[in-house]
């Protein structure tokens, strides 16, 4: 059972004992991602994620940090998305004090050395270039641009190259001072942890200052007709995202949406996999996923398909959307989706980092935590009627959005399918 503790200074700590494992994972998650940025500093959250490993007052360069973690056989990394940034270290449980010390040191005492920043600019620009050359990844960014237009959610997490070249050390220090504080930072620790873990975390993170809840520009899902974005690029395969607006993270139907997504494209026995790949041979990869933000969300099908068959693939996906609205799913298919959901959760939560992430992300994004048992209880209550009701709510022609990358000059063939 997890334990949530709010320390005297306001810092929240989530500790999750896992007596069966010998590792410990410590995760610092911050309610600060790309949607909290402006057009001018877009990319700073991700830039900061890179720079936090480049040296502190106590450990003055990246080698001092990496060699320390490598020396205990630990693993460490960081991530940035639209609404959060996270930093974590996982190691044998006997080293939990050390990893807390390293994480807190990076969070509160990073140098943000200008010389290191200048070197890292090139690294990030090459990362941007890499994704530009990976249409499988790039098409997801284009889909969100299509969905959210001029809203911060439309901006790419890595930022634009111009911004990366212009962000200064002063910008980064100011961003940390403004965005990283006790109301935005949550520390999660899972695995071989003891009863007094929260006090220990408090000792290491006592330098995290107080602050006010970070604010973002609210998004609204308003769409009256289908939309599409065709990005011309010479490729051997078309990469597409076809999706609809759906629900935010705290919506009462989010578990219904999760089961629906599992049925649609969540695994290798899903409808999309069987229809697009197995039956017609149109794609190598095809799947669907649901993205949930604070205020909005979407469900999207993604595939890499044969260029001459791209329009056919879009048509098949639209048809599969329609089938979920027209006819209730069978009892067998519904139960299989529920069992698959449970099985995936069980496997994921055998890992101490995944456990730390499971609980900490809920606290950061929702300010509340549901246990796996509570979530699965709600999943198991989902009915075929619920699936059809939600399908009819989201799978409407006016809600369709298609982003596609490939050497397409005639965009009209896709317009006919999504009835633009």
| Residue among 100, 21, 99, 107 nearest 354 (CA) | 21
Return the SS3 of 354. helix
Q: Average model confidence (pLDDT) for the chain?
A: 96
d(CA 179, CA 166): 20
Give me 258's structure tokens: 């999760």
In this prediction, residues 169-189 reach a mean pLDDT of 98
pLDDT band per the 50, 70, 90 thresholds, residue 412? confident
In this prediction, residue 147 carries a pLDDT of: 97
Q: What is the pTM of this model?
A: 0.95
369 or 199, which is more confident? 369
- pLDDT, tens digit, for every residue of 224-249? 999 999 999 999 999 999 999 999 99
Lowest mean pLDDT among 41-50, 196-205, 335-344: 196-205
For the cut 70, the answer to whether the pLDDT of residue 420 exceeds it is no
- Whether the predicted pLDDT of 256 surpasses 80: yes
Q: Which residues pair with 286 in a beta bridge?
A: 303
Q: Distance (Å, rounded) from C-alpha 55 to C-alpha 109?
A: 8
Whether the pLDDT of residue 345 is over 90: the answer is yes
Distance in angstroms (rounded) separating the CA atoms of residues 149 and 2: 40
Res 195 pLDDT > 80: no
- The single residue of 49, 141, 291, 363 carrying the catalytic annotation is 49
Assign domain 3-204 to its CATH superfamily.
Metalloenzyme, LuxS/M16 peptidase-like (3.30.830.10)
* 49 labelled catalytic: yes
Residue with tokens 């006592």: 206
Confidence at residue 222, expressed as pLDDT on a 0 to 100 scale: 86
Task: Tell me the pLDDT tens digit for each residue of 284-333.
Answer: 999 999 999 999 999 999 999 999 999 999 999 999 999 999 999 999 99
Q: Which two tokens stand for residue 7?
A: 């320390």
What confidence tier does 413 reach under pLDDT thresholds 50, 70, 90? confident
**Cβ density class 218-251: b for 16+ within 10 Å, e for less:** ebebeeeebbbbbbebeeebbbbbbbbbbbebee
pLDDT band at 196 (very low <50, low <70, confident <90, very high): confident
Architecture of the structural domain at 227-418: 2-Layer Sandwich (3.30)
Name the residue with tokens 């790419």. Answer: 156
Q: pLDDT tens, 12-66?
A: 999 999 999 999 999 999 999 999 999 999 999 999 999 999 999 999 999 999 9
The stretch 125-151 carries a mean pLDDT of 97
Comma-separated ranges of CATH 3.30.830.10 domains in the chain: 3-204, 227-418
Contacts of 208 (CB under 8 A, 6+ apart): 9, 11, 107, 108, 180, 181, 182, 185
């Amino acid at each position: 059972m997890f334990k949530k503790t709010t320390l005297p200074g306001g810092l929240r700590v989530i500790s999750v004992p896992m007596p069966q494992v010998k590792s410990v994972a410590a995760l610092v998650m911050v309610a600060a991602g790309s949607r909290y940025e402006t057009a001018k500093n877009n990319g700073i959250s991700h830039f900061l994620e890179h720079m936090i490993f480049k040296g502190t007052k106590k450990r003055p360069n990246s080698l001092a940090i990496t060699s320390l973690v490598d020396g205990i056989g630990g693993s460490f990394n960081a991530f940035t998305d639209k609404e959060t940034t996270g930093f974590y270290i996982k190691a044998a449980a006997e080293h939990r004090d050390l990893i807390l010390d390293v994480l807190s040191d990076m969070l509160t005492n990073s140098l943000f050395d200008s010389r290191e920043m200048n070197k890292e600019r090139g690294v990030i620009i090459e990362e941007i270039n890499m994704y530009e050359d990976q249409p499988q990844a790039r098409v997801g960014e284009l889909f969100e641009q299509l969905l959210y237009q001029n809203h911060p959610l439309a901006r790419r997490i890595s930022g634009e190259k111009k911004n990366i070249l212009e962000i200064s050390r002063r910008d980064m220090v100011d961003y940390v001072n403004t965005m990283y504080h006790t109301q935005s930072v949550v520390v999660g620790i899972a695995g071989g942890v003891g009863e007094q873990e929260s006090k220990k975390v408090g000792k290491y993170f006592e330098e995290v200052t107080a602050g006010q809840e970070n604010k973002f520009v609210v998004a609204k899902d308003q769409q009256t007709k289908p939309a599409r974005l065709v990005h011309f690029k010479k490729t051997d395969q078309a990469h597409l995202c076809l999706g609809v607006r759906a629900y935010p993270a705290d919506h009462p139907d989010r578990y219904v949406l999760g089961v629906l997504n599992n049925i649609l494209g969540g695994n290798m026995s899903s409808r999309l996999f069987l229809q697009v790949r197995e039956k017609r041979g149109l794609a190598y990869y095809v799947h669907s996923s649901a993205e949930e933000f604070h205020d909005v969300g979407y469900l999207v099908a993604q595939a890499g398909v044969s260029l001459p068959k791209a329009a056919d693939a879009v048509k098949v996906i639209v048809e599969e959307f329609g089938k979920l609205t027209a006819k209730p799913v069978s009892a067998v298919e519904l139960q299989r989706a529920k069992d698959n959901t449970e099985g995936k959760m069980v496997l994921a939560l055998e890992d101490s980092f995944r456990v730390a992430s499971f609980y900490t992300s809920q606290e950061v994004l929702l300010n509340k935590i549901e246990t796996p048992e509570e979530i699965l209880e709600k999943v198991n209550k989902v009915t075929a009627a619920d699936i059809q009701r939600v399908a009819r709510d989201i799978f409407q022609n006016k809600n369709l959005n298609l982003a596609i990358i490939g050497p397409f000059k005639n965009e009209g063939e896709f317009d006919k399918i999504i009835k633009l």
